[in-house]
Amino acid sequence: MTVLDASDRSIIRATQAGLPLVAAPYAAVAAAVGLTEAEVIARMTAMQDRGVIRRIAVAPNHYALGMTANGMSVWDVADDRISELGARIGALPYVTHCYQRPRALPDWPYNLFAMLHGESREEVEGKRAEVASILGPACRGHDILYSTRILKKTGLRLRDE
């Protein structure tokens, strides 16, 4: 666990809704939190190096971009192949949220989760077959779970202190 000081936390609070769309965004953040631009850049660089900031990036809206169908595919992959095969599956252009997770035997034998996106259920099913062929005999079984309803969706927010 990484210790964050008050200045780090103020930068997190100032940027968690998004990075300002201005020519010098770190100067804008600096002005908002009472630090210098150089200090904001240095602290954000350090946070990125420590993994507190995973990346600074856009999050595409799959649905708006036509990927209206998605399924949570789950796979039982041999433990000695999971790192190599997980990286290959995560690199596929239609895959997001690709994770190794623990099995929960006997009910749940699956240890690789990968969200598959497509323009239709049929397309997602086709991608499921592609993933199955990449995994080959290293995969002992799989399933795909489609979402039927969004029951709750809220963003993560660091609480104000």
Partner 1 sequence: MTRPTRTVLPPEALDPTDRAILNALQDGFPLTLRPYDDAGAALGITGENLIARLARLRDLGAITRFGPFFDAAAMGGAFCLCAMAVPADRFDEVLTKVNAHPEVAHNYERTHALNMWFVLATDSPEGIERTAEAIEGETGLKVMLFPKLEEYFIGFRVQA
Binding residue (CB under 8 A) for partner 1 from 33, 69, 86, 128: 86
Stretch of residues binding partner 1 (CB under 8 A), selected from 36-44, 120-128, 131-139: 36-44
To which H or E segment does residue 70 belong? strand 69-77
Q: Output 140 or 158, the one with its CB closest to partner 1.
A: 158
Nearest distance from C-beta of residue 157 to partner 1, angstroms? 9
Is residue 123 within 8 A of residue 69, CB to CB? The reply is yes
To which H or E segment does residue 52 belong? none
Residue 73 touching partner 1 (CB under 8 A): no
Residue 105 touching partner 1 (CB under 8 A): no
Nearest distance from C-beta of residue 149 to partner 1, angstroms? 4
Supply φ then ψ for residue 87, to 5 degrees.
-65, -40
* C-alpha atoms less than 13 angstroms from C-alpha of 141 in its C-beta half-sphere: 6
Query: Residues in contact with partner 1, total (CB under 8 A)?
Result: 79
CA distance 29 to 117: 35
Sites for partner 1 among residues 114-143 (CB under 8 A): 117, 143
